[in-house]
Amino acid sequence: MKVFDIDFYCGRQRELIEELIVFSGAPFRYLVTANVNHLVLLEHDAGFREAYQHAAHRICDSRVLFPLLKHFKVGVAEPIPGSTLTRSMMHIAQDRHWPVTVLGCEDDVVAALKLYYPAITFFHYNPPMGFINDPLEVDRCVTFIQQHPQRMTVFSTGSPRQEILAREVLARGGARGVGLCVGASLLFLSGKVKRAPLWVQHLSLEWLHRLCTEPRRLALRYAVDAYRILPIIVRQFRNQRKGGVG
């Protein structure tokens, strides 16, 4: 059953990882990590909606969103934060000596990852700001992915850019492996940005920890998302009462 017009992945993380290992040896496909910000973006961005529709999976990335999904009886077994999933997949890549492509992130982030995961061969390209609106730069990104024999591509250029780019890679073909659209996950893995302690994560307060550590970047976004998500939630409640699912 769809909720917020999203067909969510309902399995547990361990089941998802088993699927991603299989995906890593097949033609390219990607997953997206739904959170409150994504629900807001989906309202107004047609390219983002298309990217969501063509994703292999749409996982619940948010412990804030998860209680709503439980209320609407979607059947999602657990939240799967993108950062947690990325850490698990990078450990698998290390154990299996996978090549991994990274789109986005500064050079120092990838340099740190190479130290932490010496068995992984990293291919890295960091497109310039505004790249998604430059067809030539999008071509460079897609070609870079097509020309490198990765088992996994980590898209780390922020939403909705990373999802739209992953959709473009899928549409053009010629690439292989699994794509993870996981935003700042590599910043946490590299140690450049400190992730919230586990007890904070389990209290569903990771958003507050991020706000306190990056107030200038996140305060306005969080405030706008909080304002815009309310009518979306109200609409979903009304649709449920009417027997709808969107």
Tens of pLDDT, residues 9-34: 999 999 999 999 999 999 999 999 99
The residues spanned by each domain of the chain are 13-185+218-242
pTM of the model: 0.87
- For 174, phi then psi, to 5°, come to 85, 0
Among 56-70, 71-85, 139-153, 181-195, the least confident range: 181-195
Tens of pLDDT, residues 165-178: 999 999 999 999 99
Q: Answer whether residue 222 shows pLDDT above 70.
A: no
Q: Answer whether residue 243 shows pLDDT above 80.
A: no
Tell me the pairing of strands 152-156 and 121-125.
unpaired
Tens of pLDDT, residues 75-86: 999 999 999 999
Tens of pLDDT, residues 32-50: 999 999 999 999 999 999 9
Model confidence at 193, pLDDT cuts 50, 70, 90, reads confident
Task: Measure the CA–CA gap between 205 and 199, rounded to whole angstroms.
Answer: 9
Write the CB contacts of 6 (distance below 8 Å, at least 6 apart in sequence).
34, 39, 42, 52, 58
Amino acid at 131: F
Task: Measure the CA–CA gap between 80 and 84, rounded to whole angstroms.
Answer: 7
